[in-house]
Structure 1
């Protein structure tokens, strides 16, 4: 496993880390604490030292599982969580200093921690980025020792640019993958200049870039790939990276032809992200220890050739750009 600096947070994190949206349950399955522990343990065995969670993941059960696991290991593990998605309805007016403070303190209790390495605003409404008092809260929480760093998980590149105007924002978590390439255009350059840590989320486009999904694949009724394809529950860019499912399947087949079917598309997709030096870490999820092992191995895999990088660019330009580029 290789490690990269997470901006100027002082943390050196595994370049392949672990996202825990589906930890211990998959999307739609019941939460399984034993499965969660196995996944977390396997991740650490593979050299992963950064877990990304959120208070809304399984309504706190993901945080609680991480907290229990931390008591069983002596390894240094960095934990990032998120707050804000419990605001309902999820609108600007619902974001208050008092409520966000309450969320942070609940996350501390869920994980039985004294301080949080990184707290991220969880895809707040665009208007929140204009409210100084929201960002000033996290300076106070840091002074109190409850958090060490503030980050923001964003939907749009424009929001990322707004967020890093606040000097206490140290990291940006953003959707970046073969089918969502816009962040690399201007934002990465600005982030590098400001020494902002970049966390790449949804790296496999909700499974599209595994190459294993088919037109007839059935998803659990509680799986966002079933109920959020058009943004019925939250931003549609979170599901298949905003790409129409049937169109995305066709694009994946073209991608596989260009990259060669003898290679793992998952490996190529994760490695493609790591070819961008501005990225600090990639956080694929996993619903089994085997997936964790396969993902972690990508760190030591060979990089993509110039021809392969060009092939990915060609597929994006021909199949994906028109559909997603201007939206996020």
Structure 2
């Protein structure tokens, strides 16, 4: 029998449970909205098709101008720019990509040439619609961004090399190149690890060092060997320097101090050339010294924008 006392008890219990259920429902709806908002703003990787039909994986962050396109080096991928994406996407549109044969991009090519890599960069840059593009290239990414600049003269306002462009006139011979590649052909995993290790200082964070060595030595050998052959052959033919004769934008380089820079050789071909050198820094400075590197990169970007504004 339900008495008045029992009625009050059940009413209070129902009201309390309803209140709890309502709170839980509101919390669930808020969480779902947050997840949906997060999913809506997450810059998921996209795919562009390069000139030869190879799918190229890329990501875009931020909305500002100029557009910064970051190009990785030999046997690397877009992850090597992880310490730059958040910082630079606050002010600029940032594009990172995996060149063909690297990361999540396609493996359809018989030859991995610098010109074809340049087409990969063009494939992910043109959809942005930007007419103020600065290309940033690490190591092998240096000759790649030079090729891309030649393909997009109406968009590119400057090039920034990262530990590259030491001497674009370097007089390499065919015998030197064969000697360089032979060990990689015999034992790619072991020799590529040694090759990368020679460019990393003992003072570099051990975790970063091991990550780089493991990553580079696990690259597809055919892609790596082809890219190395094509890149170094440009020094034999003179194309490494000659390509800059037709590029009419300023070139900067943010370098470690492992190797000297031949300014005279570079300036014989480049419209203008300047470097920012970080002391006690190795080839992978954007990973090992991200704060100092980001400051230097910002200086180079600012210098390019000033030059562009004077035109």
Q: Which of 1 and 2 has higher RCO (CA within 8 Å, sep 6+)?
A: 1
Scaled by the length of structure 2, what TM-score is found? 0.31
Larger Rg: 2
Higher helix share: 2
